């Protein structure tokens, strides 16, 4: 299945779909050393986002969150790609800094994406391909 959205950060990333779907604050919400979500009360709390195609609505919290995405990338714990419902600057800038492919505006509600299925995000063309 191929879904068309809008490219925000270039590159191609592949991995299992992981659905947020709630907004994520990367500053103090995700551990930059391990890639594990630590925000109390978040649906993904305790989940490792390393290597996933991570779909969540948008970023929240401090703009310093951009640097945390960069840190995750440098530490080898970044998601393989990011899908946002609607991009805002914290995640858009952080994904570009961390060279993490990112798309938004895919039209399909994120909650309807098949969690765990292998997927590929192409940030150049803005497409999401779900395999199998």
Site for another protein, rule CB under 8 A: 6, 8-10, 32, 63-64, 66-68, 70-71, 74, 87-89, 92-93, 95-97, 99
Tokens representing 17 are 């779909």
Q: Shortest Cβ distance from residue 33 to another protein (Å)?
A: 11
The DSSP output letter for 87 is -
Pairing of strands 53-56, 118-122: unpaired
Q: Shortest Cβ distance from residue 79 to another protein (Å)?
A: 16
Q: Shortest Cβ distance from residue 37 to another protein (Å)?
A: 18
CA atoms within 13 A on the CB side of 14: 4
d(CA 10, CA 103): 9
By beta-carbon proximity to another protein, the closer residue of 28 and 115 is: 28
Q: Shortest Cβ distance from residue 104 to another protein (Å)?
A: 8
The DSSP output letter for 54 is E
Residue of 63, 61, 57 whose CA lies nearest to 20: 57
By beta-carbon proximity to another protein, the closer residue of 16 and 58 is: 58
By beta-carbon proximity to another protein, the closer residue of 8 and 119 is: 8
By beta-carbon proximity to another protein, the closer residue of 6 and 14 is: 6
β-pair partners for 2: 129
The reply to whether 25 belongs to the active site is no
Catalytic residue (choose from 9, 25, 28, 62): 62
CA atoms within 13 A on the CB side of 2: 5
Indicate which residues carry an active-site annotation.
62
């Amino acid at each position: 299945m191929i879904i068309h959205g809008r490219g925000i950060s270039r590159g191609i990333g592949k991995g299992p779909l992981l659905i947020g779907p709630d907004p994520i604050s990367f500053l103090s919400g995700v551990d930059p050393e391990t890639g594990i979500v630590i925000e109390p009360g978040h649906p993904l709390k305790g989940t490792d986002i390393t290597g996933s195609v991570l779909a969540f609505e948008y970023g929240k919290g401090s703009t310093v969150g951009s640097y945390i995405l960069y840190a995750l990338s440098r530490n080898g714990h970044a998601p393989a790609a990011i899908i946002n419902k609607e991009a805002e600057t914290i995640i858009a800038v952080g994904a570009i800094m961390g060279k993490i492919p990112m798309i938004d505006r895919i039209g399909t509600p994120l909650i309807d994406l098949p969690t765990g299925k292998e997927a590929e995000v192409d940030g150049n063309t803005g497409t999401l391909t779900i395999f199998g």
